[in-house]
Amino acid sequence: MRVKRATELQRKNRRWIALSLLPVLSFGQIPTGQAVIDSMVAIMSPENSKLIVKQTNHYDDGKSRTFVLEMYSTNKGDKMMIRYIKPTSVKGQTFLLLNDGDDIWTYFPRTRRVRKMASHAKKMKVQGGDFSFDDFSSEGSWKNEYITTNTGSIEKSGELCWVLKAIAKENADVDFPAVILYVRKDNYYPVRIEYMHEKGNPEKTLTLTDIQDVDGYPTALLITMENHLTGTKTVMETTEVSYSWLPPKGFFSERNLKK
C-alpha cells in the first residue's frame, strides 16, 4: 500500500482547520451538531485527491465480485471522476460527476459514446454495489438537507465520539429521513454512519476503519457499506492515495472521459 504520510506540521495544520470551525466553548459545553458537521466536512474535503480503490461487492447468495478503480476529485469534491481499470469486462468505464454530483456523464468503451445520465442517476448504485453516486459526492447535503443535533458522546470503535442525529428538513431531496453519525472527538472524522429507515431502524450502515494520516488528512483506508434490507455489502479498500495530486488542465471534462 502506497500512501504519503503527513509531517507533524501538516497534522497540526489539519487539526487546526477542524478546530477553527468550532465555536469558542466554555468549560463543560459541547459543540453544536452543525459545528461538528462543519469540522467533519472540512477534514474530509481536501482540495484535490487521487486514489486507487479495490471495490468488492458481496451479494446475498454468498458470491462476490471485485473491481479496481481510479478516483480523482478537485475543488473539495465538487468535481469527481471514477474510472474502472479492472476487470477487463468493465475496463475504461468512466463516470464524471460535476456540481456536487448533480450532473453525471458516463462513457462506455463498448459504444464509445459519452452521454449525460438522468437527474435521478445520483441515487443509482455504482457498479451494482451498495454505494450510490450520491455517496461519492461531496458533503454539502449535511448542511443543506439536514438539521443536526449533538446528543452527547460515546465510545465507538475504540474512540471517543460525538453522537450526531441528523433529521431531514421538510421537502429535502434525500433517501433517508434520519442519519446517526459517530464522529471522533479528537479529529472530527466519522467512524460509523447509520442511515435510518422511516420506521426508525438502520437501513444501511457505513463503517470507516484503518484510519491513517495521509498528507495531513485522517483517511479511512477501508470503508464498508452494509445494506440490512438486502443482506449485501460493499467494501472499498484504498490501496494508493495522494492529496498533493494536481489535475491537468481540462482533466474534469467530457472529452477526457474517453482517455
User: What is the value of pTM for the model shown?
Assistant: 0.86
Report how many domains make up the chain. 2
Quote the domain boundaries for residue 65: 47-137
Q: What is the pLDDT of residues 41-88, one digit of tens each?
A: 999 999 999 999 999 999 999 999 999 999 999 999 899 999 999 999
- Domain harbouring 100, CATH code: 2.50.20.10
The grid cell for 2 is: 502506497
Is 251 a member of any domain?
Answer: no
Query: Does residue 132 sit in the same domain as residue 143?
Result: no
Q: Region 231-244: what's the mean pLDDT?
A: 97
- Domain stop point among 137, 159, 185: 137
Query: Does residue 54 sit in the same domain as residue 114?
Result: yes
Predicted pLDDT of residue 122:
81
Query: Does residue 190 sit in the same domain as residue 76?
Result: no
Q: Mean pLDDT of all residues in the chain?
A: 88
Q: Which of 5-9, 34-38, 235-239 tops mean pLDDT?
A: 235-239
Q: Region 165-183: what's the mean pLDDT?
A: 92
What do you get for the CA distance between the two ends of the chain, in Å?
A: 26
Number of H helices, E strands in the chain: 4, 14
Q: What is the pLDDT of residues 149-161, one digit of tens each?
A: 999 999 998 899 9
The grid cell for 198 is: 422511516
- Domain stop point among 137, 164, 194: 137
Query: Does residue 90 sit in the same domain as residue 80?
Result: yes
Answer whether the bond into residue 87 is a cis peptide, omega within 30°. yes
Is 175 a member of any domain?
Answer: yes
Query: Does residue 56 sit in the same domain as residue 37?
Result: no
